[in-house]
Chain A
Amino acid sequence: MNPKTRRLLIRNFLLELLVYAVLLTVYFLLALRFLGEPLSKLFHLNPIVYAGASLVLIVVQGVALEWITSFLIVRLGLERLE
Chain B
Amino acid sequence: MDFPISGVTINPFFLIGIGFVVGLLGGFFGVGGGFLAGPLMFWSGVPMNFVVGTDLAHMTGKSIVAAKRHRTLGHVDVRLGIVMTLGTLIGVEIGARIIEALKAAGNIDHVIGITYIVILLAISGFTAWESISALRLSHHQTADEARKDVVAFGRLTQVVQSIHLWPMIAFPGSGIEAISLWVVVGIGLLTGILAGSLGVGGGFLRMPLLIYVIGVPTHVAVGTDLFEIMFSAGYGTLTHAVKGNVDILMALVMHTGAALGAQIGAMSTRYFAGPRIRLLFSLLPLIGAILVLVRLLGVDMPAF
Contacts and interface: CB of A to CB of B under 8 A. Distances in A.
A47 B259 contact: no
B260 A36 contact: no
Interface in A29-82: 31-32, 35-37, 39-40, 43, 47-48, 50-55, 57-59, 61-63, 65-66, 81-82
Contacts of A66: 65, 68, 259
Contacts of B253: 28, 32
Nearest to B1: A32
Contacts of B242: 47-48, 50-51
B240 to A, nearest CB: 8
B61 A61 contact: yes
B255 A61 contact: yes
Contact of B58 (A13, A27, A58): A58
B220 to A, nearest CB: 16
A13 B265 CA distance: 12
- Chain B interface category by residue count: 20 to 34
A47 B249 contact: no
Contacts of B61: 58-59, 61-62
Interface in B243-273: 243-244, 246, 248-249, 251-253, 255-256, 259-260, 263-264, 267, 270
B282 interface: no
A57 B255 CA distance: 11
Contacts of B65: 62-63, 66
B252 A55 contact: no
Contacts of B238: 51-52, 55
Contacts of B73: 82
A38 to B, nearest CB: 11
Contacts of B57: 54-55, 58
B252 A28 contact: yes
Interface residues of A, number: 34
B241 interface: yes
Nearest to A54: B248
Contacts of B267: 13, 81
A15 interface: no
Contacts of B260: 17, 20-21, 24
B64 interface: yes
B107 interface: no
Interface of B: 4-5, 57-58, 60-62, 64-65, 68, 72-73, 234, 237-239, 241-244, 246, 248-249, 251-253, 255-256, 259-260, 263-264, 267, 270
Interface of A: 13, 17, 20-21, 24-25, 27-28, 31-32, 35-37, 39-40, 43, 47-48, 50-55, 57-59, 61-63, 65-66, 81-82
18 contacts: A13-B267, A17-B260, A21-B256, A24-B259, A27-B256, A28-B256, A32-B252, A39-B5, A39-B248, A51-B238, A51-B241, A54-B237, A54-B246, A54-B248, A58-B237, A58-B248, A58-B252, A62-B259
